[in-house]
């Protein structure tokens, strides 16, 4: 069903935003550290028109669901909460949002760690910016989207996903200092591309384990007398901490150092090794992985043409990202998925979408 079929009028504007895959710097954002995501080709798109009653009407093409919503209603915990969050926070910035007809479609895979929610938030905010002529820049959109997620969805996330969706593109990697929000586009290592496979293990970033890691990191920073773990450069400094804080802080400090290392142009092999080291420490120190993901990462790391691989996103399941030789995505994916299947699991290609099978 198209916009006109659902709402009986034409949209006034359309906007979209991509999902992201994070290459290095996992869970460093809420430690005020460094990250290197890139946008993926899949996008969320919203078309927006004006509603002719006093209610908002939100339609999701993926769920084939229409939700009518007025400002006094309780916000349902569905895709609508992201949109209500964006609208509510734009109003808090002082801009009146009229009742809307909003049509959403997205091909960003949901629930695998590729930020389908940030794509939806940024697409919505871009649409509102155009519709209402709002003087909000791309960084401000990311900050509003992050707050929408924290206040309206209840997921206490960092700003990685929203910055990547708002400022990233598929042709470069986006280095971000999540404390200052300074950023720089970096080139991919020569003759490389990104392959993302789904481990088919449900990922639960919003779960209590994500929040538990946040609390552990904050406790470690406090014991070390710093504002955030980003302020520790020497990984030896964490050795005074009790367990498990020592392991958690070791991961964050070494991960930040890996991201800083990757700020300079590196050969593919060296960048790939940083990704492999990242996975090892995520698994052993941050304890963020699960056996199926470890199996898939190991298979990828052993496959010819792969420079490096790791789990990506919130963790505890979801997608794995690999840096691979250009134009080998199809053969590498076929081989890795066949081996993953022999190990008893089911995998699928998420990026590049052209070879998703
Ligand atoms: C989720 C959160 C991000 C970030 C990643 C892990 O995607 O939304 O803020 O913490 O997990 O790097």
Give the Cβ contact number of residue 245 at 10 Å: 20
1 pLDDT band (50/70/90 cuts)? low
Q: How far apart (Å, rounded) are the C-alpha atoms in residues 82 and 175? A: 26
Query: Averaged over 128-136, what is the pLDDT?
Result: 98
Query: Averaged over 240-253, what is the pLDDT?
Result: 98
Give the CA count within 13 Å in the CB-facing half-sphere of 264: 6
Closest to 290 measured CA to CA, from 218, 201, 169, 350: 201
Looking from the CA of residue 113, the nearest atom of ligand 1 is: 7
pLDDT of residue 70: 84
Whether residue 11 is predicted with pLDDT greater than 90 in this model: the reply is yes
Q: How far apart (Å, rounded) are the C-alpha atoms in residues 288 and 243? A: 16
Q: How far apart (Å, rounded) are the C-alpha atoms in residues 101 and 112? A: 29
Q: Is the minimum distance from the CB of 22 to ligand 1 under 6 angstroms?
A: yes
* Ligand 1 center to 315 CA (angstroms): 9
Instruction: Give me the percent of the chain exceeding a pLDDT of 90.
Output: 92
Whether residue 103 is predicted with pLDDT greater than 70 in this model: the reply is yes
pLDDT of residue 116: 97
Whether residue 77 is predicted with pLDDT greater than 90 in this model: the reply is no
Query: Averaged over 251-271, what is the pLDDT?
Result: 98
pLDDT of residue 357: 58
Helix (H, G, I), strand (E, B) or coil at 351: strand
Looking from the CA of residue 158, the nearest atom of ligand 1 is: 9
Whether residue 8 is predicted with pLDDT greater than 60 in this model: the reply is yes
206 pLDDT band (50/70/90 cuts)? low
Tell me which DSSP letter residue 187 carries.
P
Q: Residue 96, class by beta-carbon neighbours within 10 Å (0-12 exposed, 13-18 middle, 19+ buried)? A: exposed
Whether residue 204 is predicted with pLDDT greater than 80 in this model: the reply is no
Helix (H, G, I), strand (E, B) or coil at 30: helix
Q: Using CA positions, which residue lies closest to atom 8 of ligand 1?
A: 157
pLDDT tens for 47-75 read: 999 999 999 999 999 999 999 988 778 88
Give the Cβ contact number of residue 20 at 10 Å: 31
Whether residue 79 is predicted with pLDDT greater than 90 in this model: the reply is no
Helix ranges (DSSP H) in 149-233: 160-167, 208-224
pLDDT of residue 71: 77
Q: How far apart (Å, rounded) are the C-alpha atoms in residues 101 and 1? A: 14
* Ligand 1 center to 6 CA (angstroms): 34
User: Measured between alpha carbons, how far is residue 204 from residues 7, 29, 108, 235, 241 in Å?
Assistant: 35, 18, 17, 28, 28
> How many residues in the chain?
357
Whether residue 142 is predicted with pLDDT greater than 90 in this model: the reply is yes
Q: Is the minimum distance from the CB of 160 to ligand 1 under 6 angstroms?
A: yes
Joined tokens for residue 109: 């895979």
Query: Averaged over 285-307, what is the pLDDT?
Result: 97
Across the chain, mean pLDDT equals: 95
Q: Which of 30-39, 207-216, 268-277, 278-287 has the lowest mean pLDDT?
A: 207-216
Instruction: Give me the percent of the chain exceeding a pLDDT of 70.
Output: 98
Residue 231 annotated to the active site: no
Per-residue burial over 50-78, b = 16 or more CB atoms within 10 Å of its CB, e = otherwise:
ebeeebbbbbbeeeeeebebeeeeeeeee
**Probe ligand 1: pick from 34, 158, 179, max atoms within 8 Å of CB?**
158
Q: How far apart (Å, rounded) are the C-alpha atoms in residues 187 and 292? A: 31
Indicate the helix (H) or strand (E) that contains 37.
Answer: strand 34-50
CB 22 within 8 A of CB 163: no
Q: Is the minimum distance from the CB of 27 to ligand 1 under 6 angstroms?
A: yes
CB 278 within 8 A of CB 263: no
* Ligand 1 center to 292 CA (angstroms): 20
**Probe ligand 1: pick from 30, 35, 314, max atoms within 8 Å of CB?**
314
208 pLDDT band (50/70/90 cuts)? confident
Q: Which of 29, 161, 198, 285 is catalytic?
A: 161
User: Measured between alpha carbons, how far is residue 72 from residues 53, 93, 269, 272, 284 in Å?
Assistant: 15, 19, 55, 51, 47
202 pLDDT band (50/70/90 cuts)? confident
CA 296, distance to chain mean position in Å, is: 20
Whether residue 289 is predicted with pLDDT greater than 60 in this model: the reply is yes
pLDDT of residue 356: 64
């Amino acid at each position: 069903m198209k916009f006109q079929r659902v709402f009986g009028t034409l949209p006034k504007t359309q906007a979209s935003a991509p999902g992201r895959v994070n290459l290095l710097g996992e869970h460093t954002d809420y430690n005020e550290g460094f990250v290197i995501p890139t946008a993926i080709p899949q996008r969320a798109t919203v078309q927006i028109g004006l509603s002719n009653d006093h209610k908002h009407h939100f339609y999701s093409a993926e769920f084939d669901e229409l939700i009518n919503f007025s400002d006094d209603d309780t916000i349902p915990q569905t895709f609508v909460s992201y949109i209500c969050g964006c609208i509510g926070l734009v109003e808090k910035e002082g801009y009146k949002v009229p009742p809307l007809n909003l049509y959403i479609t997205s091909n960003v895979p949901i629930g695998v760690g590729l930020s389908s929610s940030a794509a939806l938030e940024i697409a919505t905010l871009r649409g509102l910016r155009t519709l209402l002529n709002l003087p909000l820049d791309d960084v401000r959109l990311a900050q509003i989207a992050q707050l929408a997620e924290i206040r309206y969805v209840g997921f206490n996330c960092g700003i990685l996903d929203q910055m990547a969706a708002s400022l990233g593109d598929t042709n470069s990697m986006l280095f971000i200092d999540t404390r200052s929000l300074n950023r720089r586009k970096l080139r991919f290592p020569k003759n490389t591309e990104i392959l993302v496979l789904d481990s088919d293990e449900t990922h639960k970033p919003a779960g209590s384990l994500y929040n538990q890691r946040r609390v552990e990191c904050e406790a470690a920073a406090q014991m070390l007398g710093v504002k955030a773990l980003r302020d520790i450069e020497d990984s030896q400094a964490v050795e005074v901490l009790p367990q498990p804080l020592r392991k958690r802080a070791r991961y964050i400090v070494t991960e930040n150092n890996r991201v800083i290392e990757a700020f300079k142009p590196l050969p593919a092999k060296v960048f790939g090794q940083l990704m492999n080291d990242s996975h090892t420490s995520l698994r052993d120190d941050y304890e963020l992985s699960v056996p199926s993901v470890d199996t898939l990462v190991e298979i990828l790391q052993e496959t010819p043409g792969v420079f490096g691989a790791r789990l990506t996103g919130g963790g505890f399941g979801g997608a794995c990202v690999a840096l691979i030789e250009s134009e080998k995505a199809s053969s590498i994916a076929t081989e890795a998925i066949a081996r993953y299947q022999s190990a008893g699991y089911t995998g699928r290609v998420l990026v590049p979408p052209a070879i998703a099978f």
